[in-house]
Structure 1
Amino acid sequence: MSSLIAIAVGLAYIALMGSAWRFRESAGSSIMSWLLATLSIAALTSVIGIVPRDTDILGVSHLGQPALAVYAASLLLIIYSALTAAFLQQPRAIRLWSALGGVWWIAVVILSLVDGNASLAAETWISAIGENPHAAGLLAIAGWLALSGVLLISIFEKFYTARLPELANQALFWGVVTPLPLLGAIMGASSVAFLRETGWIIQLVGLASVTYGVISLRVVDVRETLRIATVNISLMLVTVIAVLVALLVAEEIEAEANRVVVLAGVALATAAIHAPIYAVSNAFANRVILRTTDDLATEINQFTQAITGVFELSEVTDVMIQTLRDVLRLKRSSVLLISPLEDGAFEIEPYQPKHSANNATMPRGHLTADSPIYQRLFEQREVLLQYDLDYKPEYTAVDPTTRNFFKQLHLAAYAPIVVQGQLIALLACGPKLNDTPFSERELATLKTLANQAGIALRNARLVSDLRTREHDIAESNRRLEAAKRQLEALDAVKTDFITIASHELRTPLAQIRGHTDIIDAMNEQGMLDQDQLYGLTTNLRKAADRLESLIGDMLDVSQLDLSAMDLRFVEASIENVVRMAIEPLQESIRNRRQSLTARGLRGLPPIQADMQRLVQAIRNVVLNAVKFTPDSGRIEITGRMLTDQQTGQQQVQITISDSGIGIDKQNQEAIFQKFFRIGDPGLHSTGATKFMGAGPGLGLTIAQGVIQGHGGRIWAESDGYDPEKLPGSTFYIVLPLQPPVGERRVMSFRLAGEASPPDTDEVRPTQPKKPEGLADRVQPNSDQEPPAEEDEVFEETNPTVFNPSASRAGLTAAALAAAQEQSEHGLESAHPPGDKTPPDEPPEN
């Protein structure tokens, strides 16, 4: 009898292998290989059952039929574990099961053959293992228990962590059927014929279910099947109880003439009582166990009424989302808006209300008309499941970007909303509250809701688009108004500039013409002597210098606009740069009884800079402080090292502060714009250093352009504008020790005869903007050595007029010569008239 059952089971395994081979392409080669291997080993176990149990294989007493059954059962458990890992999509676990299981199986075989006490060949070795323990038997049983336990734990761990309900249902299905092949394999190694034959049958049923799970894309819903079975059993019990009660009552009725009538009355009463009890039980079971609703039509009708006449897109989507959650009992749901693009594709945008608590930017996807997704949603008008998108073969050609977009949404089903032949949105569902897959009834409900919402959603989108266009038009009008005001302000600035420029140009021209007329008249009369000629030519030179300076500023600003200002970098000392910047201003500072001090400059390391341009920039900032600081005011220049926390780059910060009239907060960025001036241009003063004698409004613009050309930053800070309280202002200049490679407009300055370096990329100056969060980006360098003297007060020794518009070669040579000449000397002290402060002590301002 056992041989017949073994043969039948073996033939059944061959049939299962044939069915699995037919679906090898759809299931995948990896998992199909493990399935065929599992079925082959299972068929081998049935073949081993045909061998007589007292046969010694190859004449080895320890290698009998029971030992072969143990070997086959152990090998089956290993192969089935690898099959489980492949089914659960755990490639690393496949290698782990194979390696550990292989070692364990080989150890069992070797111990059973080597150990003389091993009795795996005995029919009763399992029952006798307690009385006669041996290593091979203990290792085999321990391996069976360990493999079974770890396998079941990994299956249910996958069930709880699956991202899709279909994957969770597959894991649950595998967990339900897995005990069958495990138990069948162990029972097949038993010495009891009944247990052994029962184990073969149980193993066959289990592996048949496993084969169904592998070759089927979607397995039966285990939890729904259990609920239906529970309901049917419960209703059957209600009927059984009613019939049983009727039979018990019928037994008590005596055999009388009217017994038939009494029995009929009992049957009628039983049916009358059973009918309502059955109805109530059925309704209770459907509501509690199956969780179905009988008022679906009512809810859909209420949904239609709720969205009718609503034109706010947020309200329509809120009603749709809430209805979906209530009807299908979802964890989450969403509406994906679809808009056509110019190239024929479609953009998918998850709708997010403007006042949503989640302010994270939602991803956007794209869909083409030839995509299988579009064909499913638009042409077939069917619901698309995320599980099908991930695992069905017809969706393998979907663009990876589109596939990742849908995966990032963490949704489970998408129903198309089509209106007048256009796909306008998708009604999307997340997992259900009980994490079960969607049934056909639920997918039909989702499709119905999508069809009902089409008209309302289209109207709401039209209203939303109209409001968006109105907002865009209003925003465009606002920008046009702002541009108009800016153009009017620019026109006013140009008018003021013409006024100022004409005055600036007319004054030196009038001086030149007046002095030339005097020279001509005195020459005709023969009254021109050497001293008079020297005085007149000196005045002519000053007027020409003033005119040339103004024209040079205009040319510099034009170079900044065209990004054409070249910078030639040499090693420069900050101390010498500041000294050369303020030397031409010393006489004006002394005449106005102002105090100028400098601190912390000697300890600063040299930087790579264009000497001429950097001197010009710092002079313009200091000149601005001189002009807007009243007489007897003070100006302070300080320097220190900083470290950029983002790049770790060493930087030099120069701070120029004054006790002047201050700067309005709204003008602290505007002062770096060209032609910007504070005050009425009609009150313009020609004096270069007179109090509030504003020039043409180009100095700070040039300073900013030069500093940005060095890879640095400049900005101003002040508590406000007040000519009476004099809050003062502070200008910050930050320069890197080495300008970034991209900031170098030309290569470093080179001597005659040196090879020309390769051209570097051109960098255009950025727009003036105060750095945000500079206090967080830069920190004082604690390693900086303190300066030799606490205060360094500049003194004018041999004033030299430094003209920014002079020739570059001459100025560069002069700068290098001045730096070399004064490199061994410290900064000497000079004070306004009447100041008695010693040179080595800080002045009292």
Structure 2
Amino acid sequence: MRIRSIRVRLILMFMLVVTIALGAYAVFASQITRDRFQHYLDNGQTNDQGLISQIQAIYHQHQDAQRLQALIEQSATQNKVRTLVINPNQLIVADSASKLVGQTLTIPLFLTLESTNAGKPPLPEAPFPPGRAVRIMSTDGRIVASGPPAPLTNTNFIDSVNRALELAVLVAGFVAFILAIMLSGTILKPVRALTRAARQLEQGNLTQRVQIRRLDEIGDLAHAFDTMADSLERSEHLRRQLLSNIAHELRTPLTNIRGYLEAFQDQVITPDPAVIASIYEEAMLLSRMVTDLQDLALAEAGQLRLQRVHIALEDVITKAINALSLQAENKKISFSANIAPNLPLVEADAQRVGQIMRNLLNNAIKYTPEQGEVRVSARALQKEIQVSVRDNGMGIAAEHLPYIFKHFYRADTSRTRETGGSGLGLAIVEQLVCAHGGRITVESYVGQGTCFIFTLPIASSSKAI
């Protein structure tokens, strides 16, 4: 595994956190255990000294054998250790088991007691569990045999606790390692899928998608990837379509010009004024298309130069309507203008704004039937002027509206270059409006007509006309 991979880093970070947590727990638990055990030993020593003081008081001052016997039995029950009391002559004066009172404590008897309470059979009727030592105290204040574990046993107990904690840390660390591998695999599985899909995109497979449905950051990343892939696929499709459309749009006038020239060369036709005018029209069409493509490329690259001056939109709108009035009259389409009085000036390129208006009006004329109407309106908003061009033509279906400003896009695919234009007009309009800092939108309903609305910022410190 590579040390720089996310999986390795996730495992290492997870293990580091678990190790630190378990290490802190082990240190804390070990210290607590040591303190509590020492407290237990100190309490045991204190209790022993108190018991010895009571034994001496009862034996020397009160000389009450029954009371002494009751005290020893109570202490043995509480500590679960068989307890004997002897006098300086080694005579047993009290026995918590009530069996050896009056006998002399000899070495064989002591060994018998130790073996009995260690679980051996000499005295199977012993009331205490096996494995416990015998506690023997003297009336002169000495502890002859101590019941609690010896200091070496205490150390061994603490060491055993530490070893148990170390084992717990190792086991927990191993489990954490396995869980880290499993969890990292779950996290990184979609990441690997995204990596594979990205490599497929790099190799040109723009149809590649990742089927990840999660409601976390990985899911958001997968959704963003699929959205990016969709955008790239659409862009590639539009690019190919653009090249195909350019080739098609250029091929038609070039073919016509070539046909006329070959006919001249073969003397099939003579170059009369009508033929020359037709060739000139085709050449002008090519020129306009090349100019439109150049303007569009410059505008999309943000390099279109605008000659900004303070202009009155009313004059620009009027000139555009007059320029296309003859074309509208030929289709018996009426123009009407509703321009609010005293419109503020806008800082814009008059030629480009005129181009916007002509393209929109020309588009409205093409898609409005005879006896139709095209209405132009303009009004001032807070910081901009809004211009709308509305027709009562065939309208545009809702599924076509998102693409209406794309290059060479025609909502009505049945229209030819002669009837539907080159498909660049609206794309140029959008770029020119955006270059001026404005916005353009379209509203359309099939069978009712279409309305294009664009805005231009009001010039700073402008005066109303």
Place the TM-score, normalised by the shorter chain, in its bin: 0.5 to 0.7
Matched, 1:557 2:266: no
- 1:764-783 to structure 2, matched below 5 A, reads none
Q: 1:486 to 1:567 in 2, by over 3 A?
A: closer
Pick aligned residue for 1:662 from 366, 381, 395: 395
3-state SS of paired residue (1:457): helix
Contact 1:501 1:696 survives alignment (8 Å): no
3-state SS of paired residue (1:636): strand
Contact 2:253 2:283 survives alignment (8 Å): no
In 2: Cα distance, 1:588 partner to 1:514 partner: 32
Shift of the alpha carbon at 1:628?
2.0
In 1: Cα distance, 2:271 partner to 2:238 partner: 47
In 2: Cα distance, 1:576 partner to 1:496 partner: 35
- 1:142-221 to structure 2, matched below 5 A, reads none
In 1: Cα distance, 2:62 partner to 2:286 partner: 141
The amino acid of 2:298's aligned partner reads Q
Pick aligned residue for 1:698 from 405, 424, 432: 424
Matched, 1:456 2:179: yes
Contact 1:500 1:695 survives alignment (8 Å): no
Shift of the alpha carbon at 1:599?
2.0
Pick aligned residue for 1:716 from 442, 447, 458: 442
Q: Deviations over 1:612-651 (max 9, x none)?
A: 11101221122222222233333332222233xxxxxx22
Shift of the alpha carbon at 1:468?
0.9
Contact 2:250 2:286 survives alignment (8 Å): no
Matched, 1:732 2:458: no
The amino acid of 1:270's aligned partner reads S
1:578 equivalent in structure 2: 317
The amino acid of 1:499's aligned partner reads H
In 2: Cα distance, 1:586 partner to 1:510 partner: 33
2:93 equivalent in structure 1: none
Matched, 1:465 2:191: no
3-state SS of paired residue (1:596): strand
Q: Deviations over 1:778-832 (max 9, x none)?
A: xxxxxx99xxxxxxxxxxxxxxxxxxxxxxxxxxxxxxxxxxxxx9xxxxxxxxx
Contact 2:379 2:387 survives alignment (8 Å): yes
3-state SS of paired residue (2:441): strand
Contact 1:557 1:702 survives alignment (8 Å): yes
Matched, 1:639 2:414: no
2:251 equivalent in structure 1: 502
**Greater mean alpha carbon deviation, residues 466-475 or residues 729-738:** 466-475
Q: Deviations over 1:504-562 (max 9, x none)?
A: 5556887899999999577xxxxxxxxxx7x8887777666545433432332343355
Contact 1:515 1:536 survives alignment (8 Å): no
2:10 equivalent in structure 1: none
3-state SS of paired residue (1:464): helix
More contact order relative to length (CA 8 Å, sep ≥ 6)? 2
Pick aligned residue for 1:684 from 388, 412, 416: 416
Matched, 1:260 2:72: no
- 1:296-375 to structure 2, matched below 5 A, reads none
1:24 equivalent in structure 2: none
Q: 1:472 to 1:565 in 2, by over 3 A?
A: same
Shift of the alpha carbon at 1:575?
0.6
The amino acid of 1:702's aligned partner reads I
3-state SS of paired residue (2:176): helix
In 2: Cα distance, 1:676 partner to 1:459 partner: 51
Pick aligned residue for 1:599 from 320, 338, 341: 338
In 1: Cα distance, 2:268 partner to 2:345 partner: 50
Q: 1:613 to 1:506 in 2, by over 3 A?
A: farther
3-state SS of paired residue (1:587): helix
Q: 1:269 to 1:476 in 2, by over 3 A?
A: same
In 2: Cα distance, 1:601 partner to 1:505 partner: 46
The amino acid of 1:502's aligned partner reads R
The amino acid of 1:569's aligned partner reads R
In 1: Cα distance, 2:430 partner to 2:311 partner: 19
Matched, 1:273 2:78: yes
3-state SS of paired residue (1:630): coil
3-state SS of paired residue (2:404): helix
Structure whose alpha-carbon radius of gyration is higher: 2
The amino acid of 1:658's aligned partner reads D
Q: 1:508 to 1:737 in 2, by over 3 A?
A: farther
Q: 1:671 to 1:503 in 2, by over 3 A?
A: same
In 2: Cα distance, 1:504 partner to 1:544 partner: 7
The amino acid of 1:467's aligned partner reads P
In 1: Cα distance, 2:364 partner to 2:356 partner: 13
1:180 equivalent in structure 2: none
Q: Deviations over 1:315-338 (max 9, x none)?
A: xxxxxxxxxxxxxxxxxxxxxxxx
Shift of the alpha carbon at 1:702?
1.5
Q: CA RMSD in A?
A: 5.0
Shift of the alpha carbon at 1:568?
0.9
3-state SS of paired residue (1:581): helix
**Greater mean alpha carbon deviation, residues 565-574 or residues 461-470:** 461-470
Contact 1:637 1:654 survives alignment (8 Å): yes
In 2: Cα distance, 1:476 partner to 1:730 partner: 44
The amino acid of 1:731's aligned partner reads F
In 1: Cα distance, 2:283 partner to 2:289 partner: 10
2:348 equivalent in structure 1: 609
2:368 equivalent in structure 1: 629
Identity across the alignment (%): 22
In 2: Cα distance, 1:668 partner to 1:579 partner: 28
Shift of the alpha carbon at 1:488?
4.7
Contact 1:595 1:634 survives alignment (8 Å): yes
In 2: Cα distance, 1:504 partner to 1:297 partner: 92
3-state SS of paired residue (2:327): helix
Contact 2:59 2:68 survives alignment (8 Å): no
Structure 1's unaligned 5+ residue stretches are: 1-220, 277-293, 302-444, 523-532, 644-649, 687-692, 740-783, 786-822, 824-845
Pick aligned residue for 1:671 from 396, 404, 409: 404
3-state SS of paired residue (1:620): helix
Shift of the alpha carbon at 1:605?
0.8
Q: Deviations over 1:474-527 (max 9, x none)?
A: 3554772255665455434433443343335556887899999999577xxxxx
TM-score, structure 1 length as denominator? 0.32
In 1: Cα distance, 2:262 partner to 2:377 partner: 44
1:67 equivalent in structure 2: none
Q: Deviations over 1:93-142 (max 9, x none)?
A: xxxxxxxxxxxxxxxxxxxxxxxxxxxxxxxxxxxxxxxxxxxxxxxxxx
Shift of the alpha carbon at 1:696?
1.2
In 2: Cα distance, 1:536 partner to 1:601 partner: 47
3-state SS of paired residue (1:700): helix
In 1: Cα distance, 2:343 partner to 2:258 partner: 43
Shift of the alpha carbon at 1:572?
0.9
In 2: Cα distance, 1:579 partner to 1:506 partner: 37
In 2: Cα distance, 1:564 partner to 1:614 partner: 17
- 1:529-568 to structure 2, matched below 5 A, reads 545-560=284-299, 563-568=302-307
Q: 1:476 to 1:570 in 2, by over 3 A?
A: same
In 1: Cα distance, 2:198 partner to 2:398 partner: 26
Shift of the alpha carbon at 1:698?
0.9
Structure 2's unaligned 5+ residue stretches are: 1-27, 82-160, 208-229
1:653 equivalent in structure 2: 386
Contact 1:635 1:659 survives alignment (8 Å): yes
In 1: Cα distance, 2:317 partner to 2:257 partner: 29
